[in-house]
Structures are given as C-alpha cells and as structure tokens.
Amino acid sequence: MNNEMLQYLLIGVGALFAVIVVAFLIINKKNQNSEARQIQRLREGTKEKSFSAELIYQKLYVFYLKTPFLKRYLLKLRRRLAIINVEDEYLTRKQAAKILTNTIAIIIPLAIAIIVITHNNTLLMFMLLMFELFMVDTFIDGMVDKLDNKLLKEQIDFFSEIRHAYHEFNMVEEAIYQVAQDDDKPEMSRQAEKIYEVLISNDPESELEKYYDIAPNSYLKEFAGISYLTKEFGDRKVDNSSLYLKNLNNITQEMQLEILKRDKLDYTFQSLSVISILPMLAIEPIKNWAISQFAFTESFYNGKDGMIVQILLLLVTFVCYILTRKLKDNGSTAMNTKNTENPWQAKLYKNTIIKKFVDLFIPKQGTKEYNQLKDKMKEAASKDKIEWIYINRILLTVTIFIVSVFLFGQLHKITIDNVFTDPTTDYNLLGQMDERTERRAMELTESDNEYINYYRGNTQVTQEDIEEIMRSGRINEDYLASNDAEIETAAARVLGKIQTVNTETMQWFEVLLGLVFAIIAYNAPIWMLKFQAKMRQMEMEDEVMQFNTIILMLMRIERVNVEIILEWLERYANIFKEPISKCVNNYESGAWEALEQLKEDVSYGQFIRIVESLQAAVEKIPIADAFDELDTERDYYQEKRKESNERLISKKGRIGKAIGFAPMIVLFVGYLIVPLVFIGLTSMTTSFDSMSTM
C-alpha cells in the first residue's frame, strides 16, 4: 500500500513538473514579442557587468578621491573635464579616473627605470624622482587637450547639421534641439542641449552670461551669442542668403583654422618635451661608459666637478622643459579653470603670521613697482594674484638657498669620500683596471688613508714631516724598504690628499653663491611672466583676426551698435582684454573719448585700425559701412590668417627646437666631450712630463 502511494506521489510530482515546464515554454514564447520582453531586454542592456571598465573607473575615482596625493590631480582634472561634460557627473568621473590611471601607468614604469639606472647615485635619483612629479601635469594636460580637440572637431559636424536643420525648421532653437538629439557625438550634444535651454529660458540674456562662464571654447560662445541675437532680432537675407547661416560659416572657418593650428603645433612639439627630458636618464649610462672606457675620467665623474655638471644639466633640463610647455600651450580648457581653483598659496596666505610676513615684500598699491608688476601680469594674462606670486617668490628663494647650501656640503663630502675610496694609481689608464692592478691600487689607498687620518685637521703639516714619519714606520711599515725617490713621491701624493681633505669645508663664497642663486630664484617668477608676455605678443595678430570675424558677424545684425561690439570683443579678448574692459566701463561717459583712450592704451597697429573704424561708426557712418572692407576682402583676410598662423607656428617651432635640444647639447658637450678632451689632454701632458724627468 505504501509502495503504491509512493508510486502515485512520484507520478503526480512528475506530471506537475511537466505541466510547469510546458506552461513556462508557452508563456516564454508568447512573451518573445510582448512589451514585457522588450522591457526585460532594455534592462539587460543597461546592466553593468561586475568587472566592467565603467564600474572599475567609478571605483577608482572614489579611491583616488580618498588618496591625499592623487586627490589634488583628480580634482584638477575634474575641474577641466566638467566644462566639457556639461552636468554629466558619471562621464566626468569616468574620464578623470581613466586619465589619471593612464598617467600612473606611464609614471610608475618611468620611476622604476629611474631607480634602476641611478640606484648608485642617490642625489641624482632623488632629483629625477622629484622632477617626475612635474611631468604628471604634462601627461594630464595632453590627455585633456585631446578631449578638447575632439569636441572642437565635433563642432564642425554639428554646425553642418545645424545648417540643414535650420533650412527645415527656420527657427534657431528648434534646429539646435533637433541636432542635439544625436547620440553619436555626446560631448557636443550636451553643449547643444545647454544652449537650447538658454534660448528657451525666461531670462535668456542672464542665462547666456552664465553659459559664457562655463563654455569650453570661444567658438561655442560665439555660436550661442549669434543664436540668441538671431532669435531675438530675427534673421535677414544678405546677398540672397541667410545672415545666420553666413555667421555659422564664419565660425566654422575660424574653427577649421584653429584645428589646423593645433594639429601643426602638436606635430611640431610632439617629441620636444621628451627630447628635453631624455638627457636626465642618459646621465648615469654615459658616466658608466666613460669610466669603463677611459679610467682616468673616474675622478671627474665621481668627484665634485662631475656632480656640478650633473646639477647644471638638471637645472637646464627643468627650465627647458617648462619653457617648452609654455610654448606649446594652445590655450584650451586650462585657461578657463585656473582662476576658479583654490591653490595652496591662497590657503597659506590665510594664516595670519604668514600673511604679515608676505605683506612685507609686496609693494604698496599705487607705487611704481606695484603698477609695473600689475602690467606684467596683464601682459602675461596671469590669473594669479600678487599675493600668490610673492608666496611663490619667497618659498622659491628659501628653498633654493637651503638646497644650494646642502648641495655645496654634499659636494665637499663627495670629494672627501673619493679621497678615501678611489683606487690610487701613479699613471693613467685606458679601459678598466684588471683585478690585480685594482687590488694593488686599493692597498695603496688604504695605506694613504692611515697617514691622512693621522694628519687630518693639521693645516701646518709639510711634505718633510710626512717623509720622516714614512721612514720611521710609526704609522705603517709600507715604506721601510723604499728609497728616497719613492718616499718623496708618496709623501707628495699623501700631502695633496691631506690638503684636499682639510680644505673641503664650507667656504664664505659658497654661502654668497647660495644667496646669488636665491636672488635668481626670487626673480624667476617675474622672468616667467615676461616670457609669457613675449609669447602672447606673438599671437596678437591672430587675436585681431578673430576680432575681425566677430565684427563681420555682428555688423549686419539690426540694432547692433558699437557698445555691443565692444562687449563682444571684451568677452573673447585675451591679449587685449584689459584695455577693452576699461573702454567698455568708460563708454557711457563718452563714446569717442573712451575709444580714444583705447587707442592710447594699445600700440598694435591692426587693432588701432579697428578702433578707428569703431570711432567712425559712433558719429559718422553705419557700422556696416565702417567695416565694409571686412566683407569685400573676406578671402584676403582668410589667407592672411593662414599665413599668420604659419609664421607663428614656424617661429614657435624654431624657438622650441632651440630650447628642447639645449639639454641634449649640454649632455654630450658639457658632460662627455669636454671632460674627455680636457682630462685627456691634461693626463697626456702629465705623462709626458713624467717621462721627461725619468
């Protein structure tokens, strides 16, 4: 009975399982084309795998944010990327973590290579590792610049699509909205959506001003501004074509020129930064090769003179590396974020004691020195404050003085250590010493060390005293069987070593040199401002050409006057921003007088001609007539702009190559060729003198 019941139970369970399977298959088949299945597929498409790159970068972002040293670079990256990725927190975190991870992946192997190559030279290894920290900024800037250039290239396609959409809708905001739906270019779509929100807002003028502060480049500012003016004042036909579309074409041509300029600058400078850094990694291999091939150079490379050349080479490399970066700067998103940072200088200056000390060095407002510094900062377009610059100057001065004194002490220590450890030979060698010769040379060094330790600190010792104690055998018995000539030679050698050990102490002139280096360091930030100002002067013509394009876009729009044009020029100005801002502020008190003052504040001829045309448009003729040559000679100005960019890139390239190859020249000439020739000739002269006396 029980067996039968068990059998029936098993049959029932099997049948129930079969019914469930059949029901599942039927329902599953019905759901293949149902809405439920579609929702399920959508959910599956949005699910992240547990080990996906997206998830890893998000976790790395959180990790970097909690790591003190890496947090600084992560936040700097975030500030720049947040401009490109408007209000997209997920993408900003992903890109910031990805760029920082790639940078670490490059820096760590380089640090390992430096440690392996320079493990025998602690001072050089420390300097190279410190210098490597500065390279992080270069890697980060390069990767962010790629994203900025990518956005600029996407804008070309975006404007092309805007033209077609505008023909279809004949409304600016609708055309922008339509093109913004394109998912193929997410970075540009975000910017378009933001501009669309500005145009349809209740107060588009104030929202537009806010967008100007966060726009990643000036071309999007121009596009947003022209779109707003067209929406407010309407479009019009000029030469049987839409003025709005003509302005889009003008902006597109400007972007194309800028992309070509950046590509050429990247090509020109793509290897110069690496070339300027490579000599640092070659110091130790060249030193080892020279010593292995020419043993007589060991005293130079392991001594004070060799260390001085190494330090000079590192300083030259550092300066050239910084100047090369400044030359290559294409003015991308870095310029937009620097003034929003809260740097460590500002945090230091908040300290009451430090503030009082720094204020002692800052010139008083209204003095000649204060005004000159402000002018230099304006010319260099520096976003720093005077307080920050003086904190940099003071800290750099103190650091350089302390480092200089420390290095002088290290040089003395190296010289003394070499006296006690270098093999002692009476002749010069090509190649390396064999084991027997080296053992004999070290025995001679150890013997000399006993006499050096005996007379160390005694500045009155003479060669006769050393000869006498050698003959007596009181210190060691190495010279009991030697003749007078051998003892005289050994005593002269030992006396030279004793004098070296006794005189290798900190001298007053070395402290004075440390002060000289500190004064140079104090002026270095000012010199850097002057260098930046010189580089900006090279780009004056390019900025004036951009002004011409802005005026060309505005002069045909109704109700646009000189004041509006000046406000637009102020918004996009870089080199001439300060005098234009002053003119805008003084405009209401007298248009002609404000423009006349603007002419006095600038000295660049092409810009003065623009100001004179604006003066004519104030009182005499319409704006379109004052700048009619811009429209009629548009092709000429375009060609001139191309030629100007070519000259600018060529000039920067020549300067960059001279600066970039300077460390390599110093390495081979100052650290290899000159020492070999000089020491070789000196050794040859000594050898000939020895042979002639025998």
Give percent helix, percent strand, percent coil of the chain, each to the nearest 5. 80, 0, 15
Residue 401's pLDDT band, with cuts at 50, 70 and 90, is: very high
Q: What is the mean pLDDT of residues 411-427?
A: 77
DSSP 8-state secondary structure symbol assigned to residue 434: P
Q: What is the DSSP letter of 382?
A: -
pLDDT grade for 240, boundaries at 50, 70 and 90: confident
Q: What letters, b where the CB count within 10 A reaches 16 and e where it falls short, cover 333-363?
A: bbebbeeeeeeebeebbeeeeeeeebeeebe
Please, which pLDDT band fits residue 155 given cuts at 50, 70 and 90?
Answer: confident
* d(C-alpha 519, C-alpha 515), whole Å: 6
Contact 300, 679 (CB under 8 A): yes
**Residue of 676, 673, 671, 679 whose CA lies nearest to 284:** 671
**pLDDT tens profile 443-479:** 788 888 888 888 888 778 888 888 888 888 778 777 7
Are 455 and 498 contacting, i.e. CB atoms less than 8 angstroms apart? yes
- d(CA 164, CA 152) in angstroms, rounded, equals 20
Which band of pLDDT confidence, cut at 50, 70 and 90, is reported for residue 60?
A: confident
**pLDDT tens column, 244-294:** 888 888 888 888 888 888 888 888 887 787 788 778 778 888 888 888 777
pLDDT given at position 9: 46
**pLDDT > 90 in the chain, percent:** 3
**Which distant-in-sequence residues (6+ apart) come within 8 Å of 137 by Cβ?**
none
Q: What are the CA-CA distances from residue 617 to residues 573, 580, 607, 613, 623 (Å)? A: 21, 17, 15, 6, 5
Q: What's 48's DSSP letter?
A: P
**What is the pLDDT at residue 340?**
43
pLDDT on residue 522: 92
DSSP string of 223-273, one letter each residue: HHHHHHHHHHH---EETTEEHHHHHHHHHHHHHHHHHHHHHHHHHHHTTHH
Residue identified by tokens 């009451």 is 352
Report the share of the chain in percent with pLDDT over 70: 85
Decide if pLDDT at 515 tops 60: yes
Specify the DSSP class assigned to residue 383. -
Cα dist from 138 to 151, 283, 324, 334, 340, whole Å: 20, 22, 11, 12, 20
Confidence (pLDDT) at 689: 58
How do residues 568-594 score in pLDDT, each as one tens digit? 888 888 788 888 888 889 888 888 888
According to the model, what pLDDT value does residue 693 have? Answer: 52
pLDDT tens by residue, 184-211: 777 788 888 888 888 888 888 888 888 8
State residue 332's pLDDT score.
41
* Buried-state track 264-302, b at ≥16 Cβ within 10 A, e below 16: bbeebbeebbebbbebbebbbeebeebbeebbbbbbbbb
Asked if 423 contacts 433 with a C-beta cutoff of 8 angstroms, the reply is: yes
The yes-or-no verdict on residue 337 having pLDDT over 50 is no
Q: Give the pLDDT of residue 40.
A: 47
Evaluate the CA torsion angle 233, 638, 240, 169 in order and state its sign: negative
| pLDDT tens for each residue of 3-50 | 554 454 445 545 544 544 554 455 455 545 444 444 444 444 444 444
431 beta partners: 294
Average confidence score pLDDT of the chain: 78
Mean pLDDT in residue range 291-299 = 77
Which pLDDT score is estimated for 185?
Answer: 72
Binning pLDDT at 50, 70 and 90, where does residue 516 land?
very high
Q: Which residues lie closer than 8 Å to 170 by C-beta, 6 or more apart?
A: none
Please give the single-letter amino acid code of residue 650: S
pLDDT of residue 339: 43
pLDDT of amino acid 207: 87
Task: State residue 335's pLDDT score.
Answer: 44
- Please answer whether residues 388 and 347 qualify as being in contact, where contact means their C-beta atoms are separated by less than 8 angstroms: no
Report pTM: 0.69
Could you report how far apart the first and last alpha carbons of the chain are, in Å? 129
Furthest C-alpha separation in the chain: 130
430 has a pLDDT exceeding 80: no
Candidates 494, 492, 495, 473; CA nearest to 482 is 473
Give the mean pLDDT of 401-428: 80
Q: What is the DSSP letter of 506?
A: -
pLDDT band, residue 402 (cuts 50/70/90):
very high
Q: What value does the mean pLDDT take over residues 75-101?
A: 80
